[in-house]
Amino acid sequence: MKVAFILLLVGFVYAEPDEDMLDFEMVGYSTNIDDPQYRLLNNVVPTYMYVDLDVYLSESRFNGLVRVNVEVRETLRQIVMHQNVVSITAVSVVNANNQPVNLQFPNSFEIDSYYQVLKINFASNIEPGQYTITISYLGQINENPYDRGFYKGYYFVGNETREYATTQFQPYHARKAFPCFDEPQFKCPFVISITRDTSLSPSFSNMAINSTEVVSPGRTRETFLPTPIVSAYLVAFHVSDFVATENASTSEKPFRIISRQGPTDQHGYATRMGVRITEELDRYFNISYYDMGQGTPMKNDHIALPDFPSGAMENWGMVNYREAYLLFDERHTNALDQIFISTIIAHELAHKWFGNLVTCFWWSNLWLNESFASFLEYFAAHWANQSLELDDRFILNRVQSALSADASETIQPMNWTSVASNPSIDSHFGTSSYAKGASVLRTMEHFVGYETFRNALRYYLNTNAYGVGYPEDMYNAFRRACAEDPTFQTSYPNVDVGDVFNSWVQNPGAPVLDVNVDMNTGRINITQERFQLSGTIPDTIWHIPITWTHSGSPNFTNLRPSFVLSNKTTTIYKPAGHHWVIFNLQHSGYYRVNYDDHNWQMIASQLRRNRDAIHKLNRAQITNDVMFFLRANKTSISRAFDVLSFLRNESDYYVWNGVLSQFDWLRRRLEHLPRAHEEFDAYLLEMLEGAIQQLGYEEEASDSISVIQSRMQIMNYACQLGHQGCINDSLEKWRQFRNNASYLVPKNARRYVYCTGLRHGNDEDYQFLFQQYMNSENTADMVVMLRALACTRSNVSLTHYLTESMRNSRIRVHDKTNAFNYALLGNTENLPIVLNFLYNNFEEMRRTYGGQLRLNVCINALATHLTDFNYIVQFQAWLYNQQVSLGAAFNSGRSVIDSAMNNIRWANNVAPEIFTTIRAYRESLNASATISTSIGVLLVALVAHMFI
């Protein structure tokens, strides 16, 4: 292959583009560049690509040679490709007969750095046909992982620092490693060759190594087998001295975990889960992963990277992960991280079918890749290990998180046609494409049924294999599957499943059902509208599959919708009688439900009497919904807290998880009103007490994963609020940890035990945990310690912590902004120290945290914590004084000020009623309690704090 490359150098046109020369007006030029020029037309398509890189890792550079076969589909005078390399030194083109094609002179090629394209200009028109373009260029290995492309990271072997280079190309960073057609619609096989220092391990790429040769003393070249037809963003390679384990491999189905030297004993769990999940997805889709290579054997590598800007990346054959998201240590990896490892493996493996085998045509349709991976990350992992309860957990991590984002009036739809520029591409990698899309899929699965849903996915994959998919392709696959399902035709006559699906894809936001029940007649009036926390509500209509039940004959198990609401309003009936109704059984549909006040009152009464009469996932839905209705002023404060009153005896993880974050949201907005804040904390402690007593402080061998998670979240919050029992137990565990070298704090208790130990300790406690962090070999446990270190109340230690976040190489680049946010979360009194750190170090933060966008992330994190008007004024003065130096972060700072002021205004408006409501509730539970401060005095104090 090297000989072939050398022969193709004949006919290269060597020209150094003059960047100062004015661009020629391309009047009359036929080209494959689109408008805007971020995009390429499909009148030129790649059919095969060879990428040859000569990598000098220690020098952070490489020499590149690309040969791309293209099909030209119409007469052209110019071919355009994407590029963002250091410099292009030569370009040549030959036709199908290997004859040179004359390029324009001068300006045989041009570089447009803004649009990141290479324009190859021909001396005359070229006709449709096959051509080969060869490009010689120089590239750099980015030393900031957030720059993506081909980037460098580092790791430690003992006290020795070593380096590696790896890739992250999605969505438009392949062009940083080689000129290419860097859009998902352009798919072709790739052959990758890597030349490296012989002292390093064999390189890794999408496919297995085909040949190895020593090209010069100390230099070795590996050429890999050709990939299947694939988009450029899914190409990957890695240069290092990493090592691989093959504990579950067979010759037909190889499976490897790859990592730095040292933690190879942490490969086992990912191996077991990865093999099982691959098998489950093979069965589900009836398409074997190992048969996807189009005649070339597929491999199944999963590589753990100390520095990785994303969580993971689904490169075909070689998935990249942040190390904490792949390596599992039985002694140190807690239940939440175990779950995350399982789901992220499932997410990336699901992409082999959705994203790799069939790829979204353009990033506006990113949901065709990410929604399915986000859906299957829970259910494929659940099939592999049902003890993790991931089917139920989906409600919390996907449905409720998506509904929260969709409450914004500015949220994007799943199919966002405005995606054009690189910044708009980046912004679409968010909740709408991931969590919302997954939630809509779950709605569709319950609507059409498990088998019909699966059949639709099989039709879509088989019809579009090795190509691209459009939303209409998905809708047609569902139409075909539903047409073959007689139960669907009977249940939903004249319903077009494609129209139902499309309404969720095209409409931004999510609906809320307003349900009003006439108990005397049984008449139920239902109205749908878009749910928003603020702003003008548009007149949006969804096709909503409806499930419901009533207390006269409760049934929470039948999740097949009884009808589809396709109009603004409708009326249904239940038997006449005084029975509550509940809609959206087990939160199986993607919508909220708000009831008339009387039905809410009946639900609240039922929950207090016997909460188990209502399914736990509906209890989770109810608590989350009612807090959002309170925020949106769609229910009264008194009714909301009445509905939530059953929590005093609730310990279920799913019920508490969805409401705890909303309680914390409200609690932080009361921080500037000390008495209201104190009363709310007392209320929360009383509400948590029942769960604390039921769960206890010690983990039992028989505890389910949800019980373990419930204890983790309840104790973490209770210790933070000052629950004395939680504090005492945590301090006892902390003292044992400090005084007994053989004692390990139970891994699922470490977050709150470590935090409590530091919050109630001194500088010595901080230094002790900091040394534990520095010596750890498990990155997930290091993140737990990094969060806990910020709980110190010592100004000296917190300042040390923040300084280390910039300068300590043991704190990975992706954890630096986390450390800044942890410092804000650690204690309320941390805020002035964090602000002063920002004021004095923002330029160094920008440099060491990973660039301008990471500084923006830190500044945006302040919005929730700026609850004191004096600090807001101080922050504003600094912001405007440093406006030029802050760059784009200045606008982030202005948004922070607006958000902080809005939070204060909102709290000032509701605090008096919240205070009176929870005070009355606490009095009813504690008859001996007396009100020490009159409501009138409190209201005067609240008004004094208002500054609107």
Strand partners for 213? 221
Range with the poorest average pLDDT among 199-213, 263-277, 765-779, 910-924: 910-924
pLDDT digits (tens, 9 = 90+) for 300-332: 999 999 999 889 999 999 999 999 999 999 999
Angle at CA 734, nearest 5°, toward 728 and 737? 150
58-72 mean pLDDT: 98
pLDDT digits (tens, 9 = 90+) for 35-56: 888 899 999 999 999 999 999 9
Angle at CA 133, nearest 5°, toward 131 and 136? 170
Q: How far is 344 from 374, CA to CA, in rounded Å?
A: 9
Q: Answer whether residue 67 shows pLDDT above 60.
A: yes
pLDDT digits (tens, 9 = 90+) for 647-683: 999 999 999 998 999 999 999 999 999 999 999 999 9
**Token couple for 946:** 């208002």
Q: Which residues contact 101 (CB under 8 A, 6 or more apart)?
A: 93, 94, 95, 122, 126, 131
247-267 mean pLDDT: 92
Distances (CA, A) of 769 to 269, 737, 747: 27, 10, 15
pLDDT digits (tens, 9 = 90+) for 106-140: 999 999 999 999 999 999 999 999 999 999 999 99
Q: Are 374 and 404 in contact (CB under 8 A)?
A: no
Confidence of residue 25 (pLDDT cuts 50, 70, 90): very low
Angle at CA 9, nearest 5°, toward 7 and 11? 105
User: Is 348 one of the catalytic residues?
Assistant: yes
pLDDT digits (tens, 9 = 90+) for 877-907: 999 999 999 999 999 999 999 999 999 999 9
Please provide residue 298's backbone torsions phi and psi, each rounded to the nearest 5 degrees: -85, 145
Is 147 in a helix, a strand, or coil? helix
Distances (CA, A) of 746 to 370, 674, 699, 718, 728: 35, 35, 8, 18, 16
pLDDT digits (tens, 9 = 90+) for 739-771: 999 999 999 999 999 999 999 999 999 999 999
pLDDT digits (tens, 9 = 90+) for 639-648: 999 999 999 9
Q: How far is 83 from 117, CA to CA, in rounded Å?
A: 5
First to last CA, the chain: 72
Q: Answer whether residue 23 shows pLDDT above 70.
A: no
515-542 mean pLDDT: 97
**Token couple for 596:** 């008339």
Confidence of residue 4 (pLDDT cuts 50, 70, 90): very low
pLDDT at residue 29 in the model = 55
Q: Are 599 and 581 in contact (CB under 8 A)?
A: yes
pLDDT digits (tens, 9 = 90+) for 695-721: 999 999 999 999 999 999 999 999 999
Confidence of residue 11 (pLDDT cuts 50, 70, 90): very low
Confidence of residue 398 (pLDDT cuts 50, 70, 90): very high
pLDDT at residue 947 in the model = 34
Confidence of residue 21 (pLDDT cuts 50, 70, 90): very low
Q: Kindly report the number of other CB atoms within 10 A of residue 898's CB atom.
A: 11
What percent of the chain has pLDDT above 70? 95
pLDDT at residue 28 in the model = 43
Establish whether 347 is an annotated binding residue: yes
618-631 mean pLDDT: 97
pLDDT at residue 26 in the model = 36
Distances (CA, A) of 344 to 85, 150, 540, 818: 31, 23, 34, 20
pTM for the predicted model, two decimal places: 0.93
Establish whether 686 is an annotated binding residue: no
Nearest Cα residue to 96 out of 122, 123, 133, 125: 133
Q: How far is 836 from 931, CA to CA, in rounded Å?
A: 39
916-923 mean pLDDT: 89
Confidence of residue 927 (pLDDT cuts 50, 70, 90): low
pLDDT at residue 32 in the model = 86
342-370 mean pLDDT: 97
404-428 mean pLDDT: 88
One of 314, 348, 445, 650 is an active-site residue; which one?
A: 348
Establish whether 370 is an annotated binding residue: yes
Confidence of residue 502 (pLDDT cuts 50, 70, 90): very high
Q: How far is 850 from 853, CA to CA, in rounded Å?
A: 8
257-274 mean pLDDT: 96
Q: Kindly report the number of other CB atoms within 10 A of residue 387's CB atom.
A: 8
